[in-house]
Amino acid sequence: MNDDLEALKSSTDAALAEAGDLRAWDAVRIAVLGRSGSLTSMLRDLGKTPPELRKDRGAALNRLKDALNTAIERRKIQLEDAALDVRLLSERIDPTLPPRPRETGLIHPIARTMEEIAAIFGAMGCTVVDGPDVESDWFNFGALNIPGHHPARADHDTFYLPPRDGGAPPVLRTHTSPGQIRTMLSQEPPIRVLVTGRTYRADHDATHSPMFHQCEGLVIDRGITLGHLKGCLIDFLRTFFAISDLPVRFRSSYFPFTEPSMEVDIGWNRKTGELGRGGDWLEILGSGMVHPRVLANCGIDPREWQGFAFGMGVERITMLKHGMADLRPFYESDVRWLKHYGFNPLSPTMLHEGL
Amino acid sequence: MKFTLSWLKSHLETDASLDRITDTLTQIGLELEGVENAGAALASFRVAHVIEAVQHPNADRLRVCKVDAGDGILSVVCGAPNARTGMKAVFASAGTVIPVSGDVLKVGEIRGVKSAGMLLSAREMNLGDDHSGIIELPADAPVGMSYADYAGLNDPVIEIGVTPNRGDCFSVRGVARDLAAAGLGVLKPFQPVSIPPVFDGGPHWAIAFPEACPWIIGRTIRGLKNSPSPKWLQDRLTFIGLRPINALVDVTNFFTFDLGRPLHVFDVAKLSGDTLTLRRGAGETMRALNGKDYVVDAEDCAICDAAGVQSIAGVIGGEATGCDETTTTVFVECALFDPIRIARTGRRHQLVSDARQRFERGLDPALMPDAIQAATALILELCGGEPGPVTQAGAEPAWQRDATMRFERIASFGGSDIPADEAVGSLERLGFTVRNRDADAVTVAVPSWRNDVAAVITLDQSPLLDPAKAAKAAEGCAAIEAENDLIEEVLRLRGLDAVPSVSLPRESPVPATTLTPRQQRTAVARRTLAAGGLMECVTFSFMARAEAEKFGAAPDALRLSNPIAADLDQLRPTPLATLALAAKRNAARGYSDVALFEVGPAFAVDAPDGQKLVASGVRTGQTPRGWLVPQRPVDAMDAKADLWALLTAVGVSLEALQVTTDGPSFLHPGRSGMVRQGPKTVMGYFGEIHPRVLAALDLPGPMVMFELNLDAVAEPKRRKKSTPDLPAFQPVRRDFAFIVDNAVAAENVIRAARGSERALITGVVLFDVYEGERMPEGKKSLGVEVTFQPRERTLTDPEIEAACQKVVAAVAKATGAILR
């Protein structure tokens, strides 16, 4: 009595197997499940079935319907997969081709070093202050206990600008120390500042540039001693060069604006340039306890306040840290050099990321 | 300052090694600059006896010598005309390096005769120019002895740097005193015997310029013979690079270095009259001992006889009255001159001399009487003669002063725990004498040679200080400076390395922000531009004036008075100028497509402090080449994109900006824009460089540039952000094409569209500009996409249509546009 159902199942299976693409598959689907499809008319005719058989026939039709639906959907997936396989065969790029060019620039090593310096001294509580490149004689010399006749002036190879209003000619600052003076005049102690910027001296050869960069530190408080100066600089140098046992040596020296003054050397190997070992010493910065005259020139009572100052060449420590041999390319803007030594702008200097 | 080890040991009793001496010098602030031992290169040269010298059988000019240099008799062929039997000479065996040439000597055969070594001339050993023959040694020279030892050449020359405060260490004795104080030995006594005069008379002094010369003494010595100095004195001078001249001049040079006491000698026979007057110069010309002429002015101290200027005091003597081999009567000058005047005179005349170097740092005033006695004794010893009386003018100035140190300050200022006894001991070894000492402090008398300790305080206080504050600070300085001087001495002698290091105490657990908002902005600008594909450069702040002029003003006030080079004489008006030249250099190297930027100063007379901080960039050539995107020349819009990214990064709202067409003169007048915030504030500009500037500086084209004045960026307001606008309904977008006159700025169309329905329109994007053939003459088409953002409910078609009509009407009203 259900022969017609089995016949529909087998004829549909055969038609599905024959359907080679989705269009043929769809024709099979409509022929069976469509409004006038074979199964649809059998379901419609169920009412004509004698009542005593109707229940069994209905159940059989439902089973057939499920089986046909499953078979039709399965065939669809098979056909879609096959079609995609064919499409994928034709969709090909050469993955070795270069992408659209997207150019990234780089940060100059001087800027990078200045950021590193600021990060390290910032962790010690220093803030960064700026000052102008063109300074008055007083800020650059007079306030720093370098009077007009002082032999130290001759060492400075100062650039002068034409005098204004009959006064002493303005100078291009020969060091960042005027920043100390500006700070002491504008804020009350305690003071912890860092002055970074361009400095100028009339000297031009393989190891001197008429423009270079300095970084200057000033710490003024009540109980600051020469021991703190040493500790602060050792902490800085070992962090900056990332050598935890970097040898640091302090030698007596003289600067008009500090007393006692000292030069600071780090250990290195003169032959290989390797820092930290080798038994040779390399002068790296100048420092000292702020001279009482400098404090007094800025209205600070040296009986009450004392502290230290230091200054170092930014290019010099940059060259040492990165093993750069020549000073002149720093200002040359040669893109080949910049690409070689530049820094990724998206890796800003942060102590927690490592310098 | 140079001296030899043996010279040092003439003042210092020590058994310290050379290394220990040089290390200590550096440690105590007399930085070692070098040690040279001329003897080291001559280590294998020996004194030899020429047993026989006979004619070479095969060469007229050669001799065959039998030489004994201590280990057997060797055959040596020698070409020197003075080689002869029985002489003593200097011998080098095979394997020795000959200093003058660097060649290694080999055993050889010269014209058939074996030669096992070489007899040497002075020049071959780098000991002089003499090459007329081999060195001939005295008959008693011991055979086999090292020649360097025999000739006293094994005497290391030590060179140190003397800091400006330590004039006393411009003398061998001063260095010896410091080393002794640092524990390296004992300073030998210096007690010259007073030599009484045996006659009366000779020149005398008159001081007419007491500001320049407070005290001067002199002494005549007559009947002497001025010959070359003995070898020991010549050696002292030649080892440190001075040329021996004659005994009298050599004596003055000797004391300049030995005691740091410059002397001058006048040949009395060449003086006119018997008075030497110290007075201001009056424009006279004097020929100096260096053969050059100098004009002395009223600021110079001149030493004059009846005939005129004979010496520029403290700097250089005159040729006319100098001593030579004919001198039989000498007048020795030993003076105290004002250091500042000497420095100024020396600088004005560009005269560097050993005397000036010492005078300008200040001399030991108390040494003068002893020095003239020591000089007298040496002159009598070398030249004979008889001394006259010591004559003087002026008087010894009061130099005596005390200084007090509280022991507690060694720790609370110097950070060191040096015990009081050690501290006082150091000071005493330096020549300080204790006047008073208790448990807390010591008061010492400062020695006459230490003008750097407890000196007269000169302040240069800011005139803006509150007078009471200034007075208190000055008082504090007066109270504390001498003490600091003493602490420095105490720390220095033990070595600053001995001071324990202490890390800076923290002021707060987490430090405050290190950078100011302006500095943060600068850092963000730098990172933004680099991330945008530009390479950061650092170029000089100065450049050639003619080139600077092309980029705006080159005022005289910003022109260096003493540039290091003619092309570095003008402070740049903008970093764009130096960047353009940097691009040119890159193009010359074969890199013409570059993108460069710099964050740095632009100088202008009218800016605060004469400068502003700007971020500037230059792009040249073509965009990067690739197979997906066609390469094209850079254009003004590339520069605008850089500037826009920069403005956004530093927090400037682009909506609030206006772009006008009045760009700076070095930009293309039709392809540039000035970016303003409000009517007054210029934020920056962008555009293509002016073709004239490009051509004049021979720059690589195309070149576009931009600049942002970082000082014009307003300080960020510390304000909470408003709540974000996040409507629940999808926006609707509609495109419009407007036909407008060519002269209409796109900005006006965009603003009009944006403003037509403020609440509803959230975005206007211009996506097309068409000025082609299908447009009427003088017209262009602008395509804009307008975004409508419903807020209450989805918009109906009639509502959208109505909003679009408003857009069209507003744009038409503002710009005369018609919908295409």
pLDDT digits (tens, 9 = 90+) for B453-500: 999 999 999 999 999 999 999 999 999 999 999 999 999 999 999 999
Burial class of residue B340, CB neighbours in 10 A (0-12, 13-18, 19+)? middle
Contacts of residue A138 in chain B, CB cutoff 8 Å? 460, 462
Give the pLDDT of residue B266: 95
Q: Measured over all CA atoms, what is the biggest interatomic distance in chain A, rounded to whole angstroms? A: 131
Task: Give the integer Cα–Cα distance in Å for B634 and B428.
Answer: 76
Share of chain B above pLDDT 70, in %: 100
Give the pLDDT of residue A209: 94
Give the bridge partners for B764, in sequence order: B786
Neighbours of A66 (CB within 10 A): 10
Q: Are residues A116 and A252 in the same domain?
A: yes
Contacts of residue B485 in chain A, CB cutoff 8 Å? 259
Distance from CA of A143 to the nearest CA of B (A): 6
Q: Is residue A212 included in any domain, yes or no?
A: yes
Cβ atoms of B414 and A252 within 8 Å: the answer is no
* Nearest residue of B to residue A230, measured between CA atoms: B501
Interface test with B, best of A93, A104, A112, A134 (most B CBs within 10 A): A134
CA distances B409 to B36, B482, B483, Å, are: 41, 12, 8
Q: How confident is the model at residue B249 (pLDDT cuts 50, 70, 90)?
A: very high
Task: Give the integer Cα–Cα distance in Å for B120 and B112.
Answer: 21
Q: Is residue A49 included in any domain, yes or no?
A: yes
Q: Are residues A84 and A180 in the same domain?
A: no
Cβ distance of A104 and B530 shorter than 8 Å:
yes
Contacts of residue A334 in chain B, CB cutoff 8 Å? 585-586, 589
Measured in Å, how far apart are chain A's first and last C-alpha atoms?
88
Q: Where are the alpha helices (DSSP H) in A91-136?
A: 109-123
Q: Are residues A80 and A193 in the same domain?
A: no
The total of structural domains in chain A comes to 2
Contacts of residue B474 in chain A, CB cutoff 8 Å? 296
Helix, coil or strand: residue A86: helix
Task: Give the integer Cα–Cα distance in Å for B357 and B259.
Answer: 14
Q: How confident is the model at residue A155 (pLDDT cuts 50, 70, 90)?
A: low
Distance from CA of B288 to the nearest CA of A (A): 23
Cβ distance of B340 and A118 shorter than 8 Å:
no
Cβ distance of A225 and B504 shorter than 8 Å:
no
Burial class of residue A1, CB neighbours in 10 A (0-12, 13-18, 19+)? exposed
Distance from CA of B736 to the nearest CA of A (A): 31
Cβ distance of A115 and B523 shorter than 8 Å:
yes
What is the domain-level CATH number for residue A307? 3.30.930.10
* Nearest residue of A to residue B486, measured between CA atoms: A260
Residue A44 pLDDT more than 90? no
Determine the residue type at A216. Answer: E
Share of chain B above pLDDT 90, in %: 76
**Domain enclosing residue A330, as ranges:** 109-353
Task: Give the integer Cα–Cα distance in Å for B557 and B604.
Answer: 9
Helix, coil or strand: residue B410: helix
User: Under 8 Å CB-to-CB from B398, ≥6 apart: which residues?
Assistant: none
Phi and psi, residue A190, nearest 5°: -70, 150
Classify the phi-psi angles of B720: left when phi > 0, otherwise alpha if psi is within -120 to 50, otherwise beta.
beta
Q: How confident is the model at residue A53 (pLDDT cuts 50, 70, 90)?
A: confident
* Two structure tokens written together for A128: 């960064």
Contacts of residue A115 in chain B, CB cutoff 8 Å? 523
Q: Are residues A21 and A154 in the same domain?
A: no
Q: Are residues A266 and A336 in the same domain?
A: yes
Torsion, Cα A208 A210 A215 A221, to 10 degrees, reads 110
Q: Are residues A169 and A228 in the same domain?
A: yes
Q: Are residues A169 and A290 in the same domain?
A: yes
Task: Summarize pLDDT for A54-110 with one digit per residue, the tens.
Answer: 888 888 889 999 999 999 999 999 999 999 999 999 999 999 999 998 888 999 999
Q: Are residues A53 and A130 in the same domain?
A: no
Helix, coil or strand: residue A141: coil
Averaged pLDDT score across all residues of chain B: 93
Cβ atoms of B713 and B520 within 8 Å: the answer is no
Q: Give the residue among A349, A323, A329 at the shortest CA–CA distance from A119.
A: A349
Determine the residue type at B813. Answer: K
SS (H, E, C) B243-275: CCCCHHHHHHHHHHHHCCCCCEEEEHHHCCCCE
B46-55/B88-93 β-pairing? antiparallel
Q: Give the residue among A265, A256, A261, A307 at the shortest CA–CA distance from B489.
A: A261
Task: Summarize pLDDT for B553-604 with one digit per residue, the tens.
Answer: 899 999 999 999 999 999 999 999 999 999 999 999 999 999 999 999 999 9
User: What mean pLDDT do residues B213-217 have?
Assistant: 96
Q: Is residue A279 included in any domain, yes or no?
A: yes
Phi and psi, residue B159, nearest 5°: -120, 130
Q: Is residue A104 included in any domain, yes or no?
A: no
Give the pLDDT of residue B120: 87
Last residue of a domain, one of A26, A59, A90: A90
Give the pLDDT of residue B56: 87
* Nearest residue of B to residue A141, measured between CA atoms: B460
Task: Summarize pLDDT for B554-568 with one digit per residue, the tens.
Answer: 999 999 999 999 999
Give the pLDDT of residue A154: 67
Exposure of B644 in the CB half-sphere (CA atoms within 13 A) = 14
* Two structure tokens written together for B451: 């003008």
Q: Are residues A150 and A82 in the same domain?
A: no
Among partner residues A105, A225, A346, which is closest to B413 by beta-carbon distance?
A225
Q: Are residues A71 and A192 in the same domain?
A: no
Among partner residues A162, A260, A301, which is closest to B559 by beta-carbon distance?
A162
* Nearest residue of A to residue B161, measured between CA atoms: A253
Residue carrying structure tokens 């001394």: B387
SS (H, E, C) B139-156: CCCCCCCEHHHHCCCCCC
Give the pLDDT of residue B578: 97
Domains and CATH numbers, chain B: 2-37+156-187 (3.30.56.10), 40-150 (2.40.50.140), 204-394 (3.50.40.10), 402-497 (3.30.56.10), 517-712 (3.30.930.10), 732-819 (3.30.70.380)
Interface test with A, best of B342, B475, B510, B536 (most A CBs within 10 A): B536
Torsion, Cα B423 B425 B428 B430, to 10 degrees, reads -70
User: Under 8 Å CB-to-CB from B77, ≥6 apart: which residues?
Assistant: B56, B62, B63, B64, B65, B110, B111, B113, B114, B115
Q: How confident is the model at residue A166 (pLDDT cuts 50, 70, 90)?
A: confident
Distance from CA of B439 to the nearest CA of A (A): 21
Give the pLDDT of residue B308: 93
Residue carrying structure tokens 């095969």: B58
Cβ distance of A227 and B416 shorter than 8 Å:
yes
Cβ distance of A260 and B600 shorter than 8 Å:
no
Cα-based angle B656, B659, B661 (whole degrees, multiple of 5): 160
Give the pLDDT of residue B148: 84
Interface test with A, best of B501, B584, B596 (most A CBs within 10 A): B501
Global pTM reads 0.87
Last residue of a domain, one of A90, A118, A140: A90
Q: Is residue A101 included in any domain, yes or no?
A: no
Last residue of a domain, one of A90, A125, A155: A90
Averaged pLDDT score across all residues of chain A: 92
Residue A1 pLDDT more than 60? no
Task: Summarize pLDDT for B538-550 with one digit per residue, the tens.
Answer: 999 999 999 999 9
Cβ atoms of B118 and B92 within 8 Å: the answer is yes
* Nearest residue of A to residue B586, measured between CA atoms: A334
Q: How confident is the model at residue B104 (pLDDT cuts 50, 70, 90)?
A: confident
Among partner residues A149, A227, A299, which is closest to B343 by beta-carbon distance?
A149
Residue A329 CA, distance from chain mean position: 23
Task: Give the integer Cα–Cα distance in Å for B620 and B534.
Answer: 11
Neighbours of B324 (CB within 10 A): 12
Count CB pairs under 8 A between chains A and B. Answer: 329
Distance from CA of B170 to the nearest CA of A (A): 14
Cβ distance of B499 and A306 shorter than 8 Å:
no
Cβ atoms of A322 and A341 within 8 Å: the answer is yes
User: What mean pLDDT do residues A302-325 have?
Assistant: 95
Cβ atoms of A135 and A199 within 8 Å: the answer is no
CA distances B732 to B418, B736, B744, Å, are: 83, 13, 27
Among partner residues B347, B507, B540, which is closest to A331 by beta-carbon distance?
B540
CA distances B147 to A76, B91, B289, Å, are: 109, 9, 36
Helix, coil or strand: residue B328: coil
Distance from CA of B548 to the nearest CA of A (A): 16
Q: Give the residue among B630, B623, B551 at the shortest CA–CA distance from B594.
A: B623
* Nearest residue of A to residue B598, measured between CA atoms: A108
Q: Is residue A155 included in any domain, yes or no?
A: yes
Contacts of residue B595 in chain A, CB cutoff 8 Å? 103, 105
Task: Summarize pLDDT for B116-151 with one digit per residue, the tens.
Answer: 888 888 888 877 777 888 888 888 888 888 888 888
Q: Give the residue among B607, B604, B587, B609 at the shortest CA–CA distance from B596.
A: B587
Task: Summarize pLDDT for B316-326 with one digit per residue, the tens.
Answer: 999 999 999 99
DSSP B480-516: HHHHHHHHHHHHHHH-GGGSPP-PPPPSSSSPPPSS-
Classify the phi-psi angles of B762: left when phi > 0, otherwise alpha if psi is within -120 to 50, otherwise beta.
alpha
Q: Is residue A100 included in any domain, yes or no?
A: no
User: What mean pLDDT do residues A164-187 have?
Assistant: 92
Residue carrying structure tokens 């299976």: A13
Residue B391 pLDDT more than 90? yes
* Two structure tokens written together for B693: 């500037």
Residue carrying structure tokens 């930290």: A276
Residue A152 pLDDT more than 70? no
User: Under 8 Å CB-to-CB from A317, ≥6 apart: which residues?
Assistant: A113, A240, A284
Whether residue A190 is preceded by a cis peptide bond, meaning omega within 30 degrees of 0, is yes
Q: Give the residue among B599, B222, B521 at the shortest CA–CA distance from B383.
A: B222
Cβ atoms of B585 and A333 within 8 Å: the answer is yes
Exposure of B391 in the CB half-sphere (CA atoms within 13 A) = 21
User: Under 8 Å CB-to-CB from B702, ≥6 apart: which residues?
Assistant: B620, B621, B633, B634, B635, B688
Give the pLDDT of residue A151: 64
Distance from CA of B190 to the nearest CA of A (A): 28
User: What mean pLDDT do residues B189-217 have?
Assistant: 94
Give the pLDDT of residue B271: 93
Cβ distance of A101 and B629 shorter than 8 Å:
yes
* Nearest residue of A to residue B409, measured between CA atoms: A225
Cβ distance of B523 and A332 shorter than 8 Å:
no
DSSP A232-290: HHHHHHHHHTT-TT--EEEEEEEETTEEEEEEEEEEE-TTT--BS-SSEEEEEEEEEEE
Q: Are residues A166 and A234 in the same domain?
A: yes
Residue B503 pLDDT more than 60? yes
Give the ipTM of the model, two decimals please. Answer: 0.89
Q: Is residue A102 included in any domain, yes or no?
A: no
Phi and psi, residue B417, nearest 5°: -105, 30
Q: Are residues A182 and A83 in the same domain?
A: no
Torsion, Cα B539 B543 B549 B551, to 10 degrees, reads 0
